[in-house]
Amino acid sequence: MLSKNIEAALNKQIRIEAESSQTYLSMACWAEIQGLEGVAQFMYAQSDEERQHMLKLIKYVNERGGHAIVTDLKAPKTSFGNFKEMFEELYKHELFVSDSINKLVHITFEEKDYATHNFLQWYVAEQIEEEAQAKTILDKINLIGEDRGGLYLFDRDIQILSVTSAAATNPK
């Protein structure tokens, strides 16, 4: 049985995961109208992945005797100066999500809820991967600079990355 404090903290994380999905969906829409098909495909896959993270939390809360709450969401930004700015925002967002997960893990320690602590370890590992991926992408973007040919290759390469990462991280 979840304590009311942990249930509330998990519900807050459910909202964060839902807003993450919406953020990446908005980024996908922007990239698509910019002609960045690979980036759009990557962002669509990221959006789906974040929704799966949310659903996993919802099921956990409900299975543990709590009540998962679906709330209204803050509207995401819908346009970006350029694709580098968009990926910088993605990286900052992943750092924010990691911080939120870490705070949640801390609460489980304080309340000695080791089952929830154990459950959250998957999210801790996932965030390490998400941050590393975002940082790698930003490093590649910085290498490209203003080279339009490099942007074309990057867009093509990230499309391959999105197919690989979506298949590799498909939650069960």
Distance CA 54, CA 11 (A): 10
Q: Is 67 annotated as a binding residue?
A: no
Residues 6+ apart with CB under 8 A from 24: 43, 44, 46, 47, 50, 90
Q: Is 127 annotated as a binding residue?
A: yes
Q: Is 159 annotated as a binding residue?
A: no
Residues 6+ apart with CB under 8 A from 163: 41, 45
Whether residue 134 contacts residue 97, with contact meaning beta carbons closer than 8 Å, is answered with no
Q: Is 85 annotated as a binding residue?
A: no
Q: Is 22 annotated as a binding residue?
A: no
Looking at residue 52, its amino acid is Q
Nearest partner of 97 among 120, 135, 127, 69, judged by Cα = 127
Q: Which amino acids are annotated as binding site, given as ranges? A: 17, 50, 53, 94, 127
Q: Which amino acids are annotated as binding site for Fe cation, given as ranges? A: 17, 50, 53, 94, 127
